[in-house]
Amino acid sequence: MNKIKFKIKEYDEDTNSILVSFSSDETATNNPDDYEAVAIQPINDYPDETDIEVLKKKIAEQGIGMADLYKRQEDAKANITMQNKWKALVGQTFEYNVSDVQSLNSEVSYTNEIEVPPSE
């Protein structure tokens, strides 16, 4: 993704939210109006930021994830092979042991984590 585009559609004074639609150069269209608006609360999220250009970039940054989600959904809708696999499952019942479906490798780590030595 090289470009993110957004449109602020509404401002809600009761919640200090803006309704924003996003698109990108990878979504089916580059028109944010073609996508569902999401609520963002810039006053609550960035209370100390007063530079509107910085705020717009922060909103665009949030839109990267939304536009990526839209792209993946569009790709999934175009994947006829997977659609056929789902259709083939209609009417079937499935059962698993909980231990077989719980991921044991779901621990999240962060690159900026530090190890705190044990206190003596």
For residue 97, the SS3 value is: coil
Say if CB 64 and CB 1 are below 8 A apart.
yes
Q: pLDDT (tens digit, 9 = 90+) per residue, 48-105?
A: 999 999 999 999 999 999 999 999 999 999 999 999 999 999 999 999 999 888 876 6
Q: pLDDT (tens digit, 9 = 90+) per residue, 6-43?
A: 999 999 999 999 999 999 999 999 999 999 999 999 99
| Cα three-residue angle 22-61-31, rounded to 5 degrees | 20
Domain ranges of the chain: 4-88
pTM of the model: 0.70
